[in-house]
Amino acid sequence: MRLLFPLLFLTMLTACGEPAVDAETGTDGLTEGIYLNQEGYYTDGVIRFSVLTYTALAADIAPAAAPATATTFQLISVADQSVVAEGELGEEQDWRKVGGVKARYTELAAPAPGTYRIEVPGYGYSHPFTVQEDVLRPAFIGSLKSNYYQRMSMELLPEYAGKWARPAGHPDLGVAYHPSSGKTSGTLDSPGGWYDAGDFNKYIVNASFPMGQYLALYEDIGDPMSDGVLNIPESGNGKSDYLDELKYELDWMLTMQDDDGGLFHKLTTLKFEGMVMPHEATSPRFVVGKSTEATLNFAAATAQAARIYYDYDPVFARRLLAAARRAWAWAVAHPEQGFTNPEDVSTGEYGDKDWYDERTFAAAELFATTGEQAFLNALQVEPPRINFTTGEGWRGFMGKMGVFTLLRYPDRVPKEMHDQLKAEVLALADSLVAVTDTSAFVQPINAFKWGSTSDVLNAGIVLAAAYQQEAKPEYLEAIRAGVDYIFGHNPTGHSYVTGFGDKTPMFIHHRQSAADGIAEPVPGLLSGGANASQQDTAWATYPENAAPMQSWVDQEPSYASNEICLNWNAPLTYILGWLEARN
């Protein structure tokens, strides 16, 4: 990682009072052109910030750039307006090709616990931020609590949901089978689970993959939320709130397994509902499709859950493992039964045409849980591969989830396989650090596609897996730098997490938040982030001349940049929980 920029002063200086007004420019007060983590920093961490010096965006939609004369900064204590440190800004960096900006990037060591802001004389001051030991814990809890707000088939009561309380939506009892399911008669009772994204549908692929990431955090750090922490209906039952919330989704997932072991692909309406409250969305719903990708993902998640839930509820754990075995057997018999939307269905597809990653994920989790040779054989026939591609989402990252599980069990995995996987994970982590170190906003991606915020966080999961093999400081700092990007150290100047940070998404593409009449959206939801493809320009309006890293708008119609999704929130929860456990 980069060296800390040297400070001119490291001891408390005299109080400076209110921010000075520059005599020539008249600048004072808050400026949106100082980009930093609005949630805050750890006491042993690095404060990273960038000062805008150029943007191609119009003045009415972008902050004014700092004048050339603005070359120094001060770290101000909000409590007494004293100057804690000051120094020269870093050199201007031109990242217009990717980010559409020039900025002066600076690092300094975090001071003692407290609330601070960065002031640039002649330009203005930043949003305030906190320095403390557990600075990310509220956002961590909020990121998981967002799933409670996504619960269906259940009324959200004020004592748990506060002002976001609402009636129950979508009981999902007696749901008809779509012809694509292979069923010609009957109905399915499939209540519960979480809404997948900004819409009201449920998808097995995008339930299983996030579930694997949530469960991975539990395996890596232990129980991150004991009973009562989350304030959900199950709080007070003497069991982990973390596992309680995940079980609400697992219980639904089990209902989607057919008698022959295969998994129905999704439960949705034929078309997306409008921007209404869940209980007002009453279009007929159908059980749609049956697929290899859904079945293998389910097998992986339930096999992983079986070993984690054994102490929580051994009967439930045995049920999960039995379901995983049946799903694996079906997938072996149907290795390429892919899913595409039928002509009359236009909801999320979550299809695939290459099942390598799904097979790796499922075989690894089943092997880690059972130790049985058959699952190891499957991994040896088709050895795991390690790479990272922006925009890969569920299609590519789930294979790495299987690899990370194999690295957790070195006593079971053949040494040659373990050593090879470890070496590849470390090499991939080193490459992500290299990208981070050469990025003007200190994050690990150079392409901004659908769900780019999750790309940043999934890169963090790779780095965390590497850190658990070799605790290199540069891995930890790269993870923290990515979190800084998520919470505001980016050229949109926004924290991408609703309710956390000073400047957060207010018009998230999320039906309840759009329809509930409450100014603030449901908290703890991660916006998809900058998306250079801008697939939604028929409905959303992006800034003219917005470069890839600026291709984000806080507009409710912007499903391509400002929607939320389970497989985006899950890596947010993982990374925040992982950092909190290691601080």
The CA-atom distances, in angstroms, between 78 and each of 21, 28, 31, 113, 127 are: 18, 15, 16, 12, 11
Query: Which residue out of 199, 234, 477, 556 is catalytically annotated?
Result: 199
Q: Contact, 365 vs 293, CB < 8 A?
A: no
Element housing 97 (H / E)? helix 96-99
Structure tokens at 521: 């959206």
Establish whether 199 is a catalytic residue: yes
Structure tokens at 245: 């919330």
The pair phi, psi for residue 208, each rounded to 5°, is: -70, -45
Question: Given the structure tokens 């028929």, which residue do they identify?
Answer: 538
The CA-atom distances, in angstroms, between 117 and each of 9, 150, 582 are: 16, 35, 25
Establish whether 372 is a catalytic residue: no
Strand 202-203 and strand 83-88: pairing? unpaired
Burial 414-439 (b: 16+ CB within 10 A, else e): eeebbeebbebbbebbeebbebbeeb
Query: Which residue out of 509, 516, 556, 580 is catalytically annotated?
Result: 509
Query: Which residue out of 107, 119, 554, 580 is catalytically annotated?
Result: 554
Structure tokens at 490: 């980016």
Structure tokens at 158: 């004020």
Establish whether 509 is a catalytic residue: yes
- Helix ranges restricted to H, 409-489: 415-437, 452-469, 473-486
Amino acid at 236: G
Using alpha carbons, select from 561, 575, 547 the residue that is nearest to residue 452: 561
In the 8-state DSSP scheme, what is residue 116?
E
* Residues belonging to the chain: 583
Cβ within 8 Å of residue 525, ≥6 positions away: 146, 497, 498, 505, 508, 510, 513, 564, 569
Amino acid at 46: V
Q: Contact, 106 vs 5, CB < 8 A?
A: yes
Element housing 93 (H / E)? strand 92-94
The pair phi, psi for residue 179, each rounded to 5°, is: -50, -30
Query: Which residue out of 234, 477, 556, 563 is catalytically annotated?
Result: 563
In the 8-state DSSP scheme, what is residue 30?
B
CA distance 378 to 365: 12
Q: What is the DSSP string of 358-418?
A: HHHHHHHHHHHHH--HHHHHHHHHS-------TT-HHHHHHHHHHHHHHHH-TTTS-HHHH
Establish whether 563 is a catalytic residue: yes
- Residues tagged active-site: 199, 509, 554, 563
